[in-house]
Amino acid sequence: MPQAAPPTVRAPDMLVGTVSLGDLQLLLDDMAAQLNSSGANERGAPFVFATSESGMSFGIYTACADEEALDCRGVEFLAVFETDAPAETVNQLDSDYAAVSIYRSGPTTLNISRYVILDHGVTWANLLENAAVFEVLCERVGETLSEQAQKQLAEHAGPVPR
């Protein structure tokens, strides 16, 4: 007997307790994001890289409980920004936007992460809401960093010669 084709949509009230690469691709579709690439890490956990409607690049990673990567009960949304913002700014942003984790992964690399635990299930609508919160907060952090960079440039430029 032929197998049924995988679903191409998810009902908002569908309970999600584990995700696959196909689920991540459906999540991107529902986010109206453009898939750039997909794959699996060295442990077999699926991931996708995408671009949001607003142009932000981001990744969605999974955390799997088994070696076959069939029981993936964690989803991490991650965006990376390049900035030379001081540690005080990074700490303040992390405090201001507690729904995401904001931290440095290098001297000029800032990560913004939102982790969703799927143990015992969340609805598809809730997973989409988590994605929306991640996108909005990334945009706000990006705007704040841009404003601060422009302010720093203006302060260091000094008066305009006449």
| Domains: count for the chain | 1
C-alpha radius of gyration, the chain, whole number: 19
For residue 82, being part of any structural domain is answered with yes
For residue 8, being part of any structural domain is answered with no
For residue 56, being part of any structural domain is answered with yes
For residue 162, being part of any structural domain is answered with no
Any idea what the CATH number is for the domain that residue 58 is in? Answer: 3.30.1460.70
* Helices assigned H by DSSP within the chain: 21-31, 87-96, 124-157
* Helices assigned H by DSSP within 39-161: 87-96, 124-157
CA atoms of 161 and 138, how far apart (whole Å): 37
Q: One-letter amino acid identity for 22? A: G
pLDDT at position 127: 97
For residue 35, being part of any structural domain is answered with yes
pLDDT at position 150: 78
CA atoms of 60 and 52, how far apart (whole Å): 12
pLDDT at position 68: 79
Q: What is the pLDDT of residues 12-71, one digit of tens each?
A: 999 999 999 999 999 999 999 999 999 999 888 999 999 999 999 999 999 988 877 778
- Which one has a higher pLDDT value, 2 or 131? 131
For residue 90, being part of any structural domain is answered with yes
Q: Strand, helix or coil at 148?
A: helix
- Which residue range(s) make up the domain with 72? 15-154
For residue 10, being part of any structural domain is answered with no
Query: Would you tell me the crossing angle of helices 21-31 and 124-157 to the nearest 10 degrees?
Result: 60
Question: With 0-12 CB in 10 A as exposed, 13-18 as middle and 19+ as buried, what is 135?
Answer: buried
Q: What is the pLDDT of residues 76-125, one digit of tens each?
A: 999 999 999 999 999 999 999 999 999 999 999 999 999 999 999 999 99
- pTM for the model: 0.87
pLDDT at position 154: 73
For residue 58, being part of any structural domain is answered with yes
